[in-house]
Amino acid sequence: MDITKSSNPVFGKDIFNQSVTGTDEGVMTINGTINKTGIMLLIVIFAATFTWRKFFEANAIPGAIPEGVMGWMLGGAIGGFILALVTIFRPRSAAMTAPIYAVCEGLFLGAISAMFEGRFPGLVMRAVSLTFGVFVIMLLLYRSGTIRATEKFRTVIIAATGGIALVYLVSFIAGMFGANLGFMQGNSLVSIGFSLVVVVVAALNLILDFDMITRGADARAPQYMEWYGAFGLMVTLIWLYLEMLRLLSKLSSRN
């Protein structure tokens, strides 16, 4: 059984096949992964509350990050990236690195969310609601079999995700030289359309994540892979939330 293909880089290698256990150390279960995903989500929320409060206590200019918050935001972003790499290459450490990753991402998300909220009041709650709404819908579609993670489906989503990553990389490099890709910036219909496509691709990645977790449990991966599976799911959820923020901010700026 091939359980290796996903556009999520966390699940992008032969991770579950490498981890199938024949010992009595305990095995990965779907319920266990769900519980650990819930724990990580709570950690993200609590950490985000910290930078959120610091942002508004600083009475920042709308659209700007206060100096007292910038360090926490950058530290969270860099720390989250490093911990993500450590977790990907050392899945056995996921029980320790995944919760710390959640703390770092929470610090980053709290600051970014506060910045958007300061500019567009009420936007963050809409983004959170839509993110969890999409999560529930994707889960129901997966559980009901309406959307199946077939080989063709995986290929299309992997290609689309890779294309988006390439576009973001080109945009980042172009920005270093003072240029920018017009269709990604501003609130034009083309820019909004691009963000909508990215949101859809991020949402469909959840189907692949659900499928990878299910296959990991069926393959009797060791119990520490529950943390790894929860980590992979959180990576996609955070990406989806950030894209929701971008899309809603573009729509709000047109009003």
pLDDT tens, N- to C-terminus, the chain (255 residues): 344 445 565 665 456 555 554 444 689 999 999 999 999 999 999 999 999 999 988 876 666 788 888 999 999 999 999 999 999 999 999 999 999 999 999 999 999 999 999 889 999 999 999 999 999 999 999 999 999 999 999 999 999 999 999 988 888 787 777 767 666 777 788 889 999 999 999 999 999 999 999 999 999 999 999 999 999 999 999 999 999 999 999 999 876
- Phi and psi at 121, nearest 5°, equal -55, 135
- For residue 54, what pLDDT is reported? 92
In this prediction, residue 174 carries a pLDDT of 75
Cβ-based neighbour number of residue 115 at 10 Å: 22
What residues pair up with 27 in beta bridges, in sequence order? 222
Side chain identity, residue 156: V
Residue 2 gets which letter from DSSP? Answer: -
Spacing of C-alpha 79 from chain mean position: 15
Q: How many other CB atoms sit within 10 Å of the CB of residue 190?
A: 11
Q: Which residue has the tokens 């919760």?
A: 99
How far apart, in whole angstroms, are the C-alpha atoms of residue 125 and residue 182?
28
User: Which of 189, 182, 187, 190 minimizes the C-alpha distance to 246?
Assistant: 187
Q: What tokens does 196 get?
A: 């909508």
Give me the count of residues in the chain: 255
Instruction: Show the tokens assigned to 212.
Output: 């990878």
Are the CB atoms for 55 and 111 separated by under 8 Å? yes
